[in-house]
Structure 1
Amino acid sequence: MLISNTPKSFKDRWRTPVDVFKTLDAEFGFKLDVAADESNALCKEFLTEQQDALRCDWNSDGAIFCNPPYSKIMPWVKKAAEQYRRQNQTIVMLLPSDTSTAWFQEAIKTSHEARFITEGRLSFISAETGKEGKAGNSKGSVLFIWRPWRRLGCRMTYVQRKKLLKRA
């Protein structure tokens, strides 16, 4: 088991690699980042911890991006399943690839696509240092995508890590 040395105050604040976000943004056109703060927001519009994205609507005029705190993923998955319909917007959530969890099963039941990132792990940006984590992520990653115009039924796809790291 890998033990993290990240201080507790920074543990849930790892930032999505900018190149990965740019590649996804070129595909989806994100307008709102719902799990962010001033130091790690990737969209002009974002919801902070103080705004409490789990208690408010994710009002957006375009696609919504979410790299939630990994310590409590289930509430974020349930919120995405509610908000894609309410907002009539695509939601893309970046999560660890852990098929053994209840939140993963919930995401499979409510999303339209699970896009597994293959051939390597993402190196997230430390909130403490502002640099890529040296050891990389302890798990692979998956993108869950909720689309308002699709029927339920999650299809499994994949994308190579190197394709996400190319600038859009």
Structure 2
Amino acid sequence: MVSLNQSNTPKSEKDYWRTPENLIIDALTLLNIPRFSVDVCAKNADTSIRSSTAYIDESIDALNTIRWDENNIIKNERYHCKHLPMFCNPPFSKKWEFFQKAVDQSKSSGHQILMVLPYTPATRAWHENVLNQDCIIYVPDGRYQFLLPDGKRSPNSCSFETCLILIVPFKCGNVIVNYKRNF
């Protein structure tokens, strides 16, 4: 079978696509919050989203860090807003590992964690990971144009739909919310 959604991104750059500002603005608006508490998957300080009060970078390795808490973050501001949701645009090659880690972190800490993931509900990976979890799945009306690792706009959009998944520490099953981008 031929895959029509082949990526043109070199393997060395696949995990470093950056989150576009319009996706961040939409996420903040959807959640009705002024900012996020922690950007869980920042490559470094320069790539941490501006709308977070703290971040975890590659030197800390969020996937292998036991807890995403005060001991494992780097604060961007004097006042860290612990009560706000965390943000996670995981490395593409480890997206499901980060999803499971976020589910565990939410259950153990009571935090909400918003993840950026491919919207692929017909796949086995989606069924194995997302179904039967407590999360709100925000599905946009189109694709976001992610940024290249250097922060510049890509000439092409990503080859798959993207969604925002808010992992919550309370029982709700899967809730799907469709939304219009840049509202």
TM-score (norm 2): 0.79
What is the alpha-carbon distance in structure 1 between the residues aligned to residue 54 and residue 138 of structure 2? 25
- Structure 2 unaligned runs (5+)? 71-81
- Pairwise mapping of residues 69-80 of structure 1 onto structure 2 (< 5 A)? 69-80=91-102
What is the alpha-carbon distance in structure 1 between the residues aligned to residue 21 and residue 91 of structure 2? 17
Q: Which residue of 1 aligns with 2:173?
A: 153
Bigger radius of gyration among the two: 2
Runs of 4 or more above 2 Å deviation: 1-9, 25-29, 100-103
Q: Which residue of 2 aligns with 1:166?
A: none
Q: Secondary structure at the match of 1:116?
A: strand
- Structure 1 unaligned runs (5+)? 164-168
TM-score (norm 1): 0.85
Of 42-51 and 63-72, the range deviating more from structure 2: 42-51
Does residue 30 (structure 1) correspond to residue 3 (structure 2)? The answer is no
How far off its partner does 1:15 sit?
Answer: 0.9
How far off its partner does 1:91 sit?
Answer: 0.5
Does residue 51 (structure 1) correspond to residue 60 (structure 2)? The answer is yes
Q: What's the RMSD between the two structures over aligned residues?
A: 1.8
Q: Which residue of 2 aligns with 1:40?
A: 47
What is the alpha-carbon distance in structure 2 between the residues aligned to residue 6 and residue 146 of structure 1? 29
- On the 8 A contact 1:74/1:102 being kept in 2, the answer is no
What is the alpha-carbon distance in structure 2 between the residues aligned to residue 11 and residue 49 of structure 1? 15
Q: Which residue of 2 aligns with 1:95?
A: 117
Q: Secondary structure at the match of 1:161?
A: coil
Q: Which residue of 2 aligns with 1:127?
A: 149
- On the 8 A contact 2:41/2:58 being kept in 1, the answer is yes
Does residue 116 (structure 1) correspond to residue 139 (structure 2)? The answer is yes
- On the 8 A contact 1:35/1:49 being kept in 2, the answer is yes
What is the alpha-carbon distance in structure 1 between the residues aligned to residue 162 and residue 108 of structure 2? 27
What is the alpha-carbon distance in structure 2 between the residues aligned to residue 103 and residue 2 of structure 1? 17
- On the 8 A contact 1:73/1:103 being kept in 2, the answer is no
Q: How many residues end up aligned between the 2 structures?
A: 160
What is the alpha-carbon distance in structure 2 between the residues aligned to residue 55 and residue 5 of structure 1? 29
